[in-house]
Amino acid sequence: MTLIKFTNNKLKKIVNVYQLKYLNGDSPGFGDFLRGCFAFNQIAQLLGLEFDLDISNHPISKYLENSKKVEGINYNNIEITYEHNIANYRFKDNINPVFLNNIITWLNKQDCEVLPFFGNSFPTFNKHNQETKDLINSKIQPNELMRNYIDYTLSELRLSKKNYAVIHIRTGDKYLLNGEKMDEQLINKVKTILTRYMVPEKKYLIISDSNYLKSKLKGIPNCYVLIRHIAHSGGCQDYIDSQQSNGLMNTMLDYYLMSFSNTIVSISTYIHGSGFSRYCSVLNNIPYNFILIEE
């Protein structure tokens, strides 16, 4: 593998910034952002650069303990990099010279010491060190408001931390964002998967991007279902609506409830799975299993 030489002596630090809007597009979901942090931290290490993340300009920051601004960032002048690096990402290291060379070429052109950007690329290496996890975790810890909400919810569900598994079902943006009606065939496929993979006597908390689906799964033995309004954390969502309904708060609640589980099973209609549950498992060292729903 031959890589272009990194020659930018001025650039010292790259910062993955999560906010609703950028110069060239809207942000995707929170899981995409976490994935991009792992990807670009690896690139920074490869090139001898510092890496940081900044969530201070996103509405979810009001639920976080440590959402400080990174010094020197103009939040009105940030672009998305659309390099995704998606080959072979599910099963092994994803070393893609074309992707790496495109990123190095892009970084070589930057005339600044600190580069703010948004990236949600898939990591080059699927093994993640604890130092990287600690850095990311330090920026996404829940604040007192959120911690109280988590404890209240667990008490309501009659669950305790680390004594339940999570089944995270990602049905897709066509239902969450576009309002398409979910057909019974998809619901039956999910029920079949649950019947096949659930272990008797184990407690399962069902989390999903579809409250309609969750309502259809109520009553399954050993399953706990919480139905509250959720919102997509990306910029394509109408934030006013999500703010009035606490949608973003409930989306972050789902993330934290996953983080306190002992196992995560991700069921998704997307072949790449769900970054929301995948990187929650990575950051919290939780066993993870992915099951694809074939539509």
Q: Give me the residue spans of the domains in the chain.
A: 13-139, 144-292
- 80, 234 Cβ separation under 8 angstroms: no
Helix, strand, coil distribution of the chain in percent, nearest 5: 40, 15, 45
Which residues, other chains included, contact 95 with Cβ-Cβ below 8 Å and sequence gap of 6+? 1, 124, 125
pLDDT band at 121 (very low <50, low <70, confident <90, very high): very high
pLDDT band at 89 (very low <50, low <70, confident <90, very high): very low
Residue 72 has pLDDT above 80, yes or no: yes
| Edge-to-edge strand ranges of the sheet holding 263-268 | 223-225, 204-208, 165-170, 263-268, 288-292
For residue 127, the 8-state DSSP code is -
User: What is the number of residues in the chain?
Assistant: 295
| Range 151-172 average pLDDT | 94
73-87 as b/e: b if 16+ CB within 10 A: beeeebebbebbbee
Name residue 117's amino acid.
F
144-292 domain in CATH 3.40.50.10470?
no
Residue 273 has pLDDT above 90, yes or no: no
Least confident of 121-125, 256-260, 281-285: 121-125
pLDDT band at 236 (very low <50, low <70, confident <90, very high): low
Q: Where does 47-163 show beta strands of DSSP type E?
A: 50-54, 80-81, 114-119
pLDDT band at 237 (very low <50, low <70, confident <90, very high): low
Tokens for 3, please give them: 């890589």
User: Rounded to the nearest 10 degrees, what angle do helices 247-259 and 275-284 cross at?
Assistant: 40
Name the residue with higher pLDDT: 182 or 99. Answer: 99
Residue 229 has pLDDT above 50, yes or no: yes
For residue 64, the 8-state DSSP code is B
3-state secondary structure of 187: helix
Model pTM?
Answer: 0.91
